[in-house]
Structure 1
Amino acid sequence: MPIKFGTDGWRDIIAEDFTHANVAIVAAAHARYLASQGGQSVVIGFDPRFGGPQFARVAANTFAQHGLNVHLAGTYLPTPALSFAARHLGAAGGVMITASHNPPEYSGYKLKGAYGGSATPSMVSGVEQMIDEGDDSEGPTGTIQNLDVRRDYYMALDAILDLDTLRAYRGTLYHDAMGGAGSGWIEGYVKHAKLKLDLHPVHGVPHPLFYDVNPEPIPQNLGVLSALLRQEEGLTFGTVTDGDADRVGAVVAGGIYFNSHQIFAVLIKHLYDRGLRGRVIKTVSGSSIIDLLCQKLGLEVVETPVGFKYITDAFLEGLSDPAKQVLIGGEESGGIGMGMHIPERDGILNSLLMLEAVAKSGKSLPELFADIEELTGFRHFYDRNDLHLDPAFDKFAALQRAKSWQEVAGHTVREVVTKDGVKLLLEGNAWVMLRASGTEPVVRVYAEGTSEEAMREILEEATRRVQEE
């Protein structure tokens, strides 16, 4: 089966197509690409999935055979720490052996740039092209040395966070690592920074099956954490990191899920209140409350197609042009990056920034978001359906038909946006969006309304019409 690259690399089922032989093929292509760009070294990490250390070692040996010096992690490593290491060590790029939030039977090969973030589309296509060109490597062998970046990564967080506020905080925080690569990393930072909060790890021991759930921070995977938080009140909340710890989620006191749009909005407002400024980058599937909040704060919003690679492009623009500096960039899936850090999603940093926002304000996450709703005059109600359709179903024709819809659930369509899929802007700041998967027979239906009832009606009608037409 051909090796197919996605947004920032390649994912497949372990022992079927994700094999040592195929990892070596991809690593050889990646090595030749980096060498063609003048690269001399690479960093390699892996998450707790089955075979992670072995796949990483295969990749490391392959890079060394192609003359590149390798910094290889000795144990599981969060993706943001791996990306930080690429920039910190001046490497030409990075490799993360992970399938991120995908089920445990999958693994993957994520490409990272020298700047400390996801590979750009041109980098990914460059490696992909090298796969088809064959391998005739000859020359000196590179070295392989141990990568231990934890202390340097923690010190980088020290420079970002308000340590005085965090050290004065005596509240309670839960961290659900979902058995992933973030296991122990927030606990380690609490010890490093000498914080005195009451920290409760959940699923904090690495687990190759992620405790029998997909390691994605969405409500159906967070039953244990939600049950624990039902007993809590006040400022206490639980933060969640996904399989490779680049995405973030949250559950607040009472066991209530606090979604990625709410997290994004709270972090924007918190950074603004700290005196930080810059562009805000959001994907087209993001909540309207982000646009309304930034309008109130006088911050420029840039909307991109779905995928963090587009947000990375905006970060890189900001690195070369101060007028385009990015404050924060985020996507609906919980991937959020900070302009003052690396151009990468970082679930560990975002967890600590949420804690900082609570500690600084003395308000809970729901209270902070309620303040934003009051400031914007907008109530946020959002949900998504993933339609798994018959492979014969023409999902792209369904999206084409949706462009002609005049109304949805009694809400008049006022604008059609085709930046990614089809997004119908409805009267009263409501909207619905249809987006087809590029690799599966799946259509994702997103909806936002200003009441729970209105949002449900929009989502259900759009879901029905996609399948019926």
Structure 2
Amino acid sequence: MPIQFGTDGWRDIIADDFTYANVRMVAQAHAQALRQAGGGSVVVGFDPRFQGANFARVVAETMAEGGLDVWLAGEYLPTPALSFAVVHHGAAGGVMVTASHNPPQYSGYKLKGHYGGSATPALVAQVEAALAVPEPYNGPRGTVRPLDIRQAYYEQLDRQLDLEVLRAYRGRVIHDPMGGAACGWLTGYAAHAGLKLQLSELHGRPDPLFHGVNPEPVPASLGELMGLLAGEEGQTLGAVTDGDADRVGAVTAGGQFFNSHQIFAVLTAHLYRVRGLRGRVVKTVSGSRVIELLARRLGLEVLETPVGFKYITDAFLEGQEDESKAVLIGGEESGGLSSRGHIPERDGLLNSLLMIEAMAASGKSLPELFADIEREVGFRHHYDRADLHLSEQFDKAALLAEAQAFAEVAGRVVEGANTRDGVKLSLAGGASAMFRASGTEPVVRVYVEAQSEEDLRAILDEATRRVYRHDPAHRPG
């Protein structure tokens, strides 16, 4: 099977297509692209997945043979720390060996730009071109040296946070790194910054099988944490980071899941009203209507992008060149967020701390802060997503073509169709239903937002049935 780059690099099943040989091919192409752009160095890291350290070693050795000097992590580290290391060392790029939130049998090759964020579409195209037409390299070999970035990364977090407010917070926080790359990093930062919060870890032991769940901060993977917080009240927070710690999720007192749209809205309001920061709000097409309504209420420009943080990265980079286009906050439905002043990279650790900061500054819980926003914008947010695992015979093109022509879904009239990425239908009553096929798995994701739980369930059930109609494996009879 040919190597294919998705929204955030290349991912495949370990020992099937994600092999040492294929990793070397991609690393050679990446090195070629960096050399052609005048780059001389690169940073390489990995998460706790199976063979992660060895795959990272293969990447480092291959890139050194290709003439680049390499900083190689000696142990697992979060993706945002790797991305920060690229900027800290002035490297031409970075590689993170991770499959992020994908199931444990996957690994991946994330490309990072010199600016410390997801590879732009232009950079991905350069690597793909080099993969298609490899050029021999006969120049001098580069060096491989150890990477130690923890202290410098912690100091970067210091610059992004109101430490005085955080140090006054005494609430209980459970961090669930899901056995991934953030194990020990949030507790380590709390000790570094002198935070007095009641912080503990759940699933804090690195595990290539992620303690039996897919390392994605969604309710299906958070049953244990939700159970632990079921009897809690007040500002207690369960902060969740995914397999490589670039995504964030939350569980609040009472064991309630607090989704990424809600986190995005609360942090937008906090950064604007409490921290006094300004700039554009950048959201992917799968993001909530609440984000748009809040941004407009605050007088902020909204920019919508396709799914994939690399498009948000483009907006951050544009804002660095032109102050009038500076970004206050950018985020995606999957829990990836970045904010002004930080690297243009998703950072689950920073966003966990910003959630605590927002509660500490307001004296309110996250659900209370979000309820304030709902009242302000006049929209009640109910949301869910279904990840539909389909057969190889699934007809993606037929589904998307038909979805654009839907006149109604579950009796709600279609008022418009957005085809920026997949198909997102605007429905009567402020609801929406979006259909999008994964670029790395035989999966279609259905995203639904509505103003009542009843509408949400009806729309999601009907949308799911319509997807399955295009998969021979699910057709009746």
Deviations 1:81-135 (A, max 9, x none): 0000101111000000111111111111111000000011111121122122235
Displacement of 1:427:
2.1
Match of 1:10?
10
Higher mean displacement: 188-197 or 120-129: 120-129
The aligned runs of 1:13-412 (5 Å cut-off) are 13-273=13-273, 274-412=275-413
Taking every aligned residue pair, what percent have the same amino acid on both sides? Answer: 67
The 8 Å contact of residues 395 and 441 in structure 1, kept in 2 or not, is answered as no
> 1:315 & 1:139 partners in 2: Cα distance?
35
Deviations 1:25-57 (A, max 9, x none): 111111111011000110000001111111111
The 8 Å contact of residues 306 and 331 in structure 1, kept in 2 or not, is answered as yes
DSSP-derived class of the 1:348 partner: helix
DSSP-derived class of the 2:361 partner: helix
AA aligned to 1:429 is: G
DSSP-derived class of the 1:412 partner: strand
The 8 Å contact of residues 7 and 439 in structure 2, kept in 1 or not, is answered as no
Match of 2:417?
416
DSSP-derived class of the 1:420 partner: coil
Match of 2:434?
433
The 8 Å contact of residues 39 and 91 in structure 1, kept in 2 or not, is answered as yes
AA aligned to 2:289 is: S
Displacement of 1:338:
1.2
Match of 2:451?
450
> 2:178 & 2:315 partners in 1: Cα distance?
30
AA aligned to 1:240 is: V
The 8 Å contact of residues 116 and 343 in structure 1, kept in 2 or not, is answered as yes
Displacement of 1:389:
3.0
The 8 Å contact of residues 281 and 303 in structure 1, kept in 2 or not, is answered as yes
Displacement of 1:234:
0.8
Displacement of 1:24:
1.4
Relative to 1, partners in 2 of residues 1:162 and 1:133: Cα closer, same or farther, differing over 3 Å?
A: same
Displacement of 1:408:
2.0
Displacement of 1:391:
2.8
Deviations 1:259-300 (A, max 9, x none): 111111111011011111100001111111111111111111
Structure 1 gap ranges (5+): none
> 1:134 & 1:402 partners in 2: Cα distance?
40
> 1:346 & 1:458 partners in 2: Cα distance?
32
Q: How many residues are aligned here? A: 469
AA aligned to 1:403 is: Q
> 1:398 & 1:209 partners in 2: Cα distance?
33
Structure 2 gap ranges (5+): 471-477
Higher mean displacement: 196-205 or 424-433: 424-433
> 2:65 & 2:296 partners in 1: Cα distance?
53
Displacement of 1:16:
2.1
> 2:89 & 2:31 partners in 1: Cα distance?
17
The 8 Å contact of residues 45 and 95 in structure 2, kept in 1 or not, is answered as yes
DSSP-derived class of the 2:388 partner: strand
DSSP-derived class of the 2:134 partner: coil
DSSP-derived class of the 2:6 partner: coil
The 8 Å contact of residues 412 and 427 in structure 1, kept in 2 or not, is answered as yes
The 8 Å contact of residues 8 and 308 in structure 2, kept in 1 or not, is answered as no
> 1:163 & 1:442 partners in 2: Cα distance?
42
TM-score of the superposed pair, with normalisation by structure 2: 0.96
> 1:197 & 1:236 partners in 2: Cα distance?
10
